Chains A and B, each alone.
Chain A
Amino acid sequence: MNDGHGPNSTHLFESTVRQHQAMVFSLAYHFLQDAAAAEDVAQEVFVQLYRNFRSIQSPGHLRFWLRKVTVHRSLDELRRRPPQPISLEEVAEASTDPAPGDPWLSARLRRLVAALPPKPRMVVILRFQEDLELREIADTLEMPLNTVKSCLRRALAVLQAKLARSVGDVKV
């Protein structure tokens, strides 16, 4: 994909950053629910990509590499932090993009996803942000396929149950 570091590769790298920055930042942001930490993680990922640019063989390999490194960096970042109970009311909103569905429901769902344990949270994010197949999620997270399946099933059940409860609370 790249024959070394030089002016041409810098331009190629720049266009790669512009093309994939939303994916990398969003993975980290949806996982960490902290815009500043997500930006740090995303920057680290792209600096690491620059160092390893020569080893990237194809656009598909690039996307896989970026997802994998972002996922692992985000998990590392979470491990480094002191444990903080995530309150459903405290999760920050970072983007000003207009949401296509119900904004209240979307915000509620993001908060519920943020309250999931790390691995199921990442499975849900990779599935619904990136639209990845279960096999791709298993490869990215280096988990057995059946574990990913059961993880996703349980996470969706938990999310649905909690959402139903919170919607019920609002209606009352």
Chain B
Amino acid sequence: MRAFEDELRSALRRREPPAGFGNRILSRVEAEERKAVLRPRLFRNPAVRWLAAAAMACVLLIGVALERRAMERRLQAHRAAQEAILALRITRYELNHALDRAMRRGGRDPRQEGQIFSPKEQP
């Protein structure tokens, strides 16, 4: 068993990594350092990063709320316009109806409506 374990030790001995391994790691680390320098010093503090994220979330929520309110106002305006159009239609109908009745009482044929106010009959 001892000889077998020694063979295992020999088989699993440490081996050096391929050439340039250390330099490749240092290059990666330097690249990370450069990235860290580009990031503003203020934002390296995790608390500041959290605060910034919270502020951005607040701005986003306020923006969504304002947009929703504006949309509701636009909808209300549209509904009011529709109601006004409907009211005008009803008024026109009522006026036509009243005119029709008045003409019938005066013995005129409302179907010859076009002749009622013709230039010849006007006083």
Which residues of B have CB within 8 Å of A113? 8, 11-12
Q: Determine the residue in chain B with the shortest Cβ distance to A164.
A: B4
CA of A128 to CA of B10, assembled, Å = 8
| A95–B10 touching, CB < 8 Å | no
Does A62 have its Cβ within 8 Å of any Cβ on chain B? no
Does A14 have its Cβ within 8 Å of any Cβ on chain B? yes
Which residues of A have CB within 8 Å of B22? 14, 17-18, 21
Known contacts A25-B17, A97-B16, A128-B5: A17-B26 contact under CB 8 Å: yes
Those of B1-55 within 8 Å (CB) of chain A: 1, 4-18, 21-22, 24-26, 28-29, 32-33, 36
Which of B6, B12, B18 contacts A30 (CB under 8 A)? B12
| A124–B12 touching, CB < 8 Å | yes
Which residues of B have CB within 8 Å of A160? 4
Does A65 have its Cβ within 8 Å of any Cβ on chain B? no
Which residues of B have CB within 8 Å of A102? 7
Which residues of B have CB within 8 Å of A110? 11-12
Which residues of B have CB within 8 Å of A14? 22, 26
Interface residues on B, range: 20 to 34
CA of A101 to CA of B7, assembled, Å = 7
Binds B, one of A39-47, A80-88, A134-142: A39-47
Q: Determine the residue in chain A with the shortest Cβ distance to B9.
A: A128
CA of A29 to CA of B29, assembled, Å = 22
Known contacts A14-B26, A43-B25, A109-B7: A5-B16 contact under CB 8 Å: no
Q: How far is the CB of B65 from chain A (nearest CB, A)?
A: 39
| B10–A47 touching, CB < 8 Å | no
Which residues of B have CB within 8 Å of A78? none
Interface Cβ pair total, 8 Å cutoff: 102
Interface residues on A, range: 35 or more
Which residues of B have CB within 8 Å of A22? 14-17
Which residues of A have CB within 8 Å of B36? 5
Q: How far is the CB of A58 from chain B (nearest CB, A)?
A: 22
Which residues of A have CB within 8 Å of B26? 10, 14, 17
| B11–A42 touching, CB < 8 Å | no
Known contacts A17-B26, A100-B13: A159-B21 contact under CB 8 Å: no
Q: Given contact pairs A43-B25, A128-B8, A163-B4, enumerate 4 new A-B contacts (beta carbons under 8 Å).
A: A10-B26, A95-B15, A100-B10, A110-B11
What would be 7 A-B contacts, judged by CB atoms less than 8 Å apart? A22-B17, A39-B18, A43-B21, A101-B11, A106-B10, A128-B5, A156-B1
